[in-house]
A and B are shown apart, each in its own frame.
Chain A
């Protein structure tokens, strides 16, 4: 197989990226938005190189701007930590047209990210059961804290839904206090039950369905983040604010029973 397929235009794509180190001094405005091809059906638009609330706000507000503009050929827009992915059909538009339109939209937002429609939630989590929180001790000892300090940290912050992914309705929340930013496991574990609350790298996820994980299980919520039979199957949306509330096993069980009987659980929304 000849290697001459590696054409000169590819080198153009590669070399600048390989030779330019990530420079923290560069003005954000000159580097971003940065466009990268995800084939001929996706355009990745990068809006920063640090995972933080500020980048996330730019991602979510550009997503909202693209969706409300109704650009021809755009199928949907998926937000992530640093970027959004614009899914499109090349039968109705082209990546070069989209880049032009999206650059203009991003420029128009430079004065300040538009507020996005966000909701606030308070979700009950049971931390005090070893079966629900098998890794709480480990996380505490990694951080040099008592388990009760870990819980106090987790309920002290209002987290934001950066994105959903990995499984239907699965939220990625952040940020936790720095001292809880434990790295992911070396070896993933399997069979983590739905409802589990997991942390790693300063983020929190809530499992909608049973799945493997490389994160640490520190609690469990009775509130399903994905319920396919419901009229609103996905509980949280990107940009939503979430506070965790520590509940005992009895209250956990009571809420779970109520949900099973089709009753509503009051107090989930901070501002109804």
Chain B
């Protein structure tokens, strides 16, 4: 029998995401994919998957899931919110490592307050189709994921069921500096010539707040307006994840994973790819500022980040049997608050 995840509560905007649907943007198919790919990659390695496998992206409020039809190995990365088993016996699971849940166990991830998103990976991944080569969910076109939509209460999502044997659990001591901090770095262009120098100084010299209307398609920024010099319509051209478009309102929108493939508003700058995972994690109400860098610097920063991600992944350790029980005792007596450090 296939192992399923039975969603007793779906959470706020839980969706299946992998690292994105690349190769079909010329047909108008958006890439979608995880807002924070670093966390998804690490969660996948913890459960023994390829880094690029699909996991569940949880947003703000996690789901309550029962494992049905067999065992499931799971890892949660991207939040300090815990993984908690509710039935048959309540227990808190240690963060930063894989754990194996028994048939029938009900677990949940509670409120995620330190990020806009986090990831649950399952050993073997999902038994779901991969339209255009990806399992990522794109709800506006009902593409990918589970029935092309965010999960709902009562959904039963099949796991591929490849796992287990007696493979050991794995754990990681996560270095949060991987995501970077400070101002969000941007590369000017491609339509920087549509803005006055004044607009540039405003953009780089101001704080912006992430608006409540933000979603997986983009972050709407609230703050000083940016002045166009040549209107705000361009012949539509291709856009990247991280493109910062400025429509007629003058308020920038940073385009994220569910962005359209092309657009007709001028783009003042693009977020350096090194800062996209951090940006994907930011929550409405958070404040951002921007710093301009050139392309070569952006490329170098990204390569350095990738080396550090690899080092983190290589440092993933096999845990001795019984480690979970020990950690739970420690957590129970509140001696440690988890293995995530900043």
Q: Which residues of A are in contact with B by a Cβ distance under 8 Å?
A: 1-3, 5-7, 9-10, 13-14, 17-18, 36-42, 44, 51, 63, 75-85, 87, 90-91, 94-96, 163-170, 172, 208-209, 226, 228, 233-234, 237-238
Contacts and interface: CB of A to CB of B under 8 A. Distances in A.
A2 B296 CA distance: 23
Given A3-B205, A44-B190, A169 B289 contact: no
B27 A234 contact: yes
Contact of A39 (B187, B193, B206): B187
Contacts of B296: 94-96
Contacts of B263: 165
Contact of B273 (A41, A78, A166, A172): A41
A164 B303 contact: no
B27 A169 contact: yes
Contact of A10 (B148, B188, B190): B188
Max chain A Cβ within 10 angstroms of own Cβ: one of B148, B207, B261, B302: B261
Max chain B Cβ within 10 angstroms of own Cβ: one of A10, A39, A208: A39
Nearest to B290: A5
A39 B291 contact: no
A83 B188 CA distance: 18
A14 B188 CA distance: 9
A41 B299 CA distance: 8
Interface stretch (B139-147, B153-161, B210-218): B139-147
Interface in B28-85: 28-30
B262 interface: yes
A228 B238 contact: no
Contacts of B271: 39
Given A78-B261, A81-B235, A5 B25 contact: no
B231 interface: no
11 contacts: A1-B204, A1-B289, A6-B200, A14-B193, A39-B243, A39-B273, A44-B190, A85-B239, A90-B273, A94-B296, A167-B28
B236 A163 contact: yes
A14 B273 CA distance: 22
B27 A84 contact: no
Given A38-B240, A90-B298, A168-B30, 19 more contacts: A1-B207, A14-B193, A36-B189, A36-B191, A38-B190, A40-B298, A42-B270, A75-B22, A76-B26, A78-B261, A80-B238, A81-B236, A81-B237, A82-B235, A85-B239, A85-B240, A166-B262, A169-B27, A170-B28
Interface size band for B: 35 or more
A83 B237 contact: yes
Nearest to A210: B140
A163 B264 CA distance: 13
Contact of A238 (B26, B205, B206): B26
A37 B188 contact: yes
A163 B262 contact: yes
Given A5-B204, A87-B22, A37 B262 contact: no
Interface in B103-152: 131-132, 138, 140-143, 148
A217 B235 CA distance: 20
**Which 3 pairs, one residue from A and one from B, show the smallest C-beta to C-beta distance?**
A85-B238, A39-B270, A165-B262
B205 A2 contact: yes
A52 B261 CA distance: 21
